[in-house]
Amino acid sequence: MHDVTKVYQLEGIEVRALCGVSMDIHEGEMVSIMGPSGSGKSTLMHIVGLLDRPSAGVVSIEGEVVGDLSPNQLAALRNEHIGFVFQSFNLLARTGAQANVELPLVYGGVSGAERSRRAREALERVELGDRLNHTPGQLSGGQQQRVAIARALVTSPSIVLADEPTGNLDSRSGVEVMGILQDLNAQGITVVIVTHDANVARHSQRIVELRDGVIVRDETVADRLDAHDEMSQLGMNTAADVEAVLGTAGDAS
Ligand SMILES: Nc1ncnc2c1ncn2[C@@H]1O[C@H](COP(=O)(O)OP(=O)(O)O)[C@@H](O)[C@H]1O
Ligand SMILES: [Mg+2]
């Protein structure tokens, strides 16, 4: 984005949420957008995610300037490239995990059998292949956020945008969610996390800090946290760990 400004009109009063923000997010990067409440993080994410348009400035994604696109073209670009994860999970309450994950494909006109196959595959990627029919109420907060991540992945996006993905989670579930986001990034997906939490941000390669709609810091993270190391320090085992141990035991015998 180049020189992006966003002004909201609220009952005749102008609120400047972003003032001349320029930044590149590179393919395959994991970036955190940090800053206190009201600094413009969500506004930035909505603009990067093509959910909202800037008041001034240029946004381009994969070389395409998005300013000239119609709402339908924007929606198509968004559906093709971007997956969203929100603080409050935004899952349908009376609907099972698999059906929640299938939703973005319903609007995409994918056949029922294909939807089901892709939803199950996405749930396996977040280690919930054994919870296909659980409704959100039957899942922990961390599991609900993993369902939401699977829903973001089901369209095979090249970019995942997460707005305070650990905001409603206890610290263990938060680390688990960060582990999944780090795994996705290691698999080549560009990950952008919005957070006010410095510890969450330290899981990225780069931190961009906003204050009052202006970038005040843009730095590489020197002491990056590895969520999988943190999980083993906390004595947490992931399904992948268990498989690795069983695999080794099998080889030895
Ligand atoms: N739809 C809106 N209408 C008017 N003002 C808004 C709207 N959305 C956000 N703002 C204002 O823009 C500023 C930045 O908000 P936001 O991007 O949500 O910040 P953050 O996510 O960092 O808390 C705040 O002052 C907020 O009150
Ligand atoms: Mg916000």
Q: Cα–Cα distance between 56 and 119 in angstroms, integer? A: 38
Pocket test residue of 15, 18, 34, 194 for ligand 1, highest count of atoms within 8 A of CB? 15
pTM: 0.91
Residue type at 234?
L
> Does 252 score more than 70 pLDDT?
no
* E-state strands within the chain: 2-10, 13-21, 30-34, 56-58, 60-61, 64-65, 82-86, 159-163, 190-195, 206-211, 214-220
pLDDT tens by residue, 189-226: 999 999 999 999 999 999 999 999 999 999 999 999 99
- Identify the architecture of domain 2-252 in CATH: 3-Layer(aba) Sandwich (3.40)
Residue 239: per-residue pLDDT: 56
pLDDT for the residue numbered 106: 87
- Beta strand pairing call for 214-220 and 206-211: antiparallel
Residues with Cβ–ion distance below 5 A, ligand 2: 41-42
Query: What confidence tens digit (pLDDT) does each residue in 13-28 have?
Result: 999 999 999 999 999 9
What residue spans define the domains of the chain? 2-252
Q: Please name the residue that has the structure tokens 């400004």.
A: 5
